[in-house]
């Protein structure tokens, strides 16, 4: 199914048209022995976007490049790197696109003030709705 989706996506995206037959990287589908480190790595993988299968995280993808990214992330985490450092390392190469966790930037700040704006709007509109005395 994933392969189908990948194939479909690739039809649109052009460059890749076939999938390789290379076996997956050592840590693509193998967990780290230390459950704490594995949890750290897994959590990061859930928020890294797969580049060849569009709208999916590398943690839920069968694409080989996602597997290679999982491998690299697990190895880096095992080597003691912090997940956020790895995220920044990836963002330096692929831009904010690769991270599902938007950073506060000049472009994305409205996303982060949105809850306050919504609450303010609601308060403005509801201001006259209530009465304290029996009508």
Number of residues that bind other proteins (CB under 8 A): 78
Considering the rule CB under 8 A, would residue 74 count as an interface residue with other proteins?
no
Least Å distance, CB 81 to other proteins, is: 14
Binding other proteins (rule: CB under 8 A), the pick from 41, 52, 83, 86 is 52
Tokens representing 33 are 């022995």
Binding other proteins (rule: CB under 8 A), the pick from 24, 37, 76, 81 is 24
Q: What is the DSSP letter of 82?
A: -
Phi-psi region of 32 (alpha: psi -120 to 50; beta: other; left: phi over 0): beta
Residues 6+ apart with CB under 8 A from 4: none
Considering the rule CB under 8 A, would residue 113 count as an interface residue with other proteins?
no
Binding other proteins (rule: CB under 8 A), the pick from 11, 34, 39, 82 is 39
User: 3-class DSSP state for residue 48?
Assistant: strand
For tokens 């037959």, the residue is 21
Q: What is the DSSP letter of 134?
A: -
Considering the rule CB under 8 A, would residue 79 count as an interface residue with other proteins?
no
Binding other proteins (rule: CB under 8 A), the pick from 53, 77, 83, 86 is 53
Considering the rule CB under 8 A, would residue 45 count as an interface residue with other proteins?
no
Distance from C-alpha of 88 to C-alpha of 102, rounded to nearest angstrom? 12
Binding other proteins (rule: CB under 8 A), the pick from 33, 79, 80, 132 is 132
Site for other proteins in 81-110 (CB under 8 A): 90-102, 107-108, 110
């Amino acid at each position: 199914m994933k392969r189908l989706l990948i194939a479909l996506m690739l039809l649109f995206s052009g460059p890749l048209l076939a999938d390789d037959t290379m076996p997956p990287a050592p840590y693509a589908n193998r967990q780290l022995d230390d459950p704490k480190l594995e949890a750290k790595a897994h959590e990061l993988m859930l928020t890294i976007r797969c580049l060849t299968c569009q709208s999916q995280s590398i943690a839920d993808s069968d694409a080989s490049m996602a597997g290679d990214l999982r491998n690299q992330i697990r190895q880096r985490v095992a080597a003691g790197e912090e997940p956020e450092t790895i995220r920044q390392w990836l963002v330096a190469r692929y831009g904010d696109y690769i991270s599902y966790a938007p950073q506060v930037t000049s472009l994305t700040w409205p996303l982060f003030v949105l809850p306050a704006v919504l609450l303010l709007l609601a308060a403005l509109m509801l201001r006259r709705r209530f009465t304290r005395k029996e009508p």
